[in-house]
Amino acid sequence: MIEPPVSLGAKLLLVLLGCLCALLTAEAACVTAYDALRVYQQRPSWVFGLTYENVPDFQTHVRGVTYRFNRRGMVGEDLPEAKPAGERRLLLLGDSIAMGVGARPEQGAARLLELALAKSAPAGAKVRLLNFGTLSYNVWDYYYCLRGKGWGFAPDAVLVFLCLNDAWPKALGLPLPGPDGRLGLWPRLKHLLVKSRLVYSCLYVFNVNKLLKPLFGKAAGVPVKGLPSDPLSEKLLGTLDASSLESLRRGAAEEGWGEQAMRDAIREILVDNNWPKALPALSAMARECRSRGVPFKVAVFPVNFQVSAGWRDERPQKEIMDYLRAHGIEAVDLKPALRQAARRGRVFVQGDMLHPDPAGQRVVARELLKLFPRGL
CATH code, domain carrying 134: 3.40.50.1110
| Alpha-carbon span 57 to 70, nearest angstrom | 5
Q: pLDDT: is 285 or 64 the higher one?
A: 285
Which runs of consecutive H residues, i.e. helices, occur in the chain?
8-29, 96-99, 109-119, 139-148, 185-195, 202-207, 213-216, 231-239, 242-255, 259-270, 275-292, 317-326, 335-342, 358-369
Does the pLDDT of residue 1 top 90, yes or no?
A: no
CA atoms within 13 A on the CB side of 356: 33
Of the candidates 93, 94, 105, 91, the one whose C-alpha atom is nearest the C-alpha of residue 62 is 105
Instruction: Lowest mean pLDDT of 74-83, 255-264, 283-292, name the range.
Output: 255-264
> What residues contact residue 108 under an 8 Å CB cut-off, 6+ apart?
99, 100, 361
- Per-residue confidence (pLDDT) for residue 322, from 0 to 100: 94
Strands 52-54, 42-44: pairing kind: antiparallel
- Per-residue confidence (pLDDT) for residue 66, from 0 to 100: 87
Q: How confident is the model at residue 175 (pLDDT cuts 50, 70, 90)?
A: very low
Of the candidates 171, 151, 166, 153, the one whose C-alpha atom is nearest the C-alpha of residue 53 is 171
> Is the peptide bond between 373 and the residue preceding it cis, with omega within 30 degrees of 0?
no
Burial 257-287 (b: 16+ CB within 10 A, else e): beeeebbbbbbbbbeebbbebbbbbbbbbbe
- Per-residue confidence (pLDDT) for residue 320, from 0 to 100: 92
Angle at 96 between CA 210 and CA 277, to 5 degrees: 105
Determine if residue 108 is left, alpha or beta; phi over 0 gives left, psi from -120 to 50 gives alpha, anything else beta. beta
Look over the chain and give the mean of its residue pLDDT values, rounded to a whole number.
78
Residues 281-323 pLDDT 10s: 999 999 999 999 999 999 999 988 888 877 777 878 888 999 9
Q: Which domain covers residue 245, as residue numbers?
A: 87-168+230-369
Instruction: Lowest mean pLDDT of 106-110, 135-139, 282-286, name the range.
Output: 135-139
Residue 103 maps to a domain: yes
- Per-residue confidence (pLDDT) for residue 304, from 0 to 100: 85
Angle at 17 between CA 13 and CA 23, to 5 degrees: 145
Residue 327 maps to a domain: yes
Does the pLDDT of residue 21 top 80, yes or no?
A: yes
> What residues contact residue 116 under an 8 Å CB cut-off, 6+ apart?
365, 369
Q: Label residue 27 exposed, middle or buried (CB < 10 Å: 0-12, 13-18, 19+).
A: middle
Residue 50 maps to a domain: no
- Per-residue confidence (pLDDT) for residue 61, from 0 to 100: 80
Residue 257 maps to a domain: yes
Residue 320 maps to a domain: yes
- Per-residue confidence (pLDDT) for residue 150, from 0 to 100: 95
Segment (H or E) for 51: none
Helix (H, G, I), strand (E, B), or coil: what is residue 60?
A: strand
Determine if residue 136 is left, alpha or beta; phi over 0 gives left, psi from -120 to 50 gives alpha, anything else beta. left
Helix (H, G, I), strand (E, B), or coil: what is residue 89?
A: strand
Helix-helix angle 358-369:109-119, to 10 degrees: 40
- Per-residue confidence (pLDDT) for residue 330, from 0 to 100: 97
**If you average pLDDT over residues 225-252, what whole number do you get?**
53
Residue 80 maps to a domain: no
Does the pLDDT of residue 133 top 80, yes or no?
A: yes
- Per-residue confidence (pLDDT) for residue 225, from 0 to 100: 32
Number of domains the chain is built from: 1
Residues 193-234 pLDDT 10s: 655 555 456 665 555 545 544 444 333 222 323 333 334 444
Q: Estimate to the nearest angstrom the gap between the alpha carbon of 316 and the chain centroid.
A: 18
| Alpha-carbon span 356 to 109, nearest angstrom | 9
Does the pLDDT of residue 39 top 80, yes or no?
A: no
DSSP summary character for residue 30: I
Tell me which range, 8-17, 72-81, 268-277, 328-337, is most confidently predicted by mean pLDDT: 328-337
Residue 141 maps to a domain: yes
Angle at 320 between CA 160 and CA 149, to 5 degrees: 25
- Per-residue confidence (pLDDT) for residue 219, from 0 to 100: 32
Does the pLDDT of residue 78 top 70, yes or no?
A: yes
The structure's pTM equals 0.75
Share of the chain above pLDDT 70, in %: 67
**If you average pLDDT over residues 147-164, what whole number do you get?**
95
Residue 202 maps to a domain: no
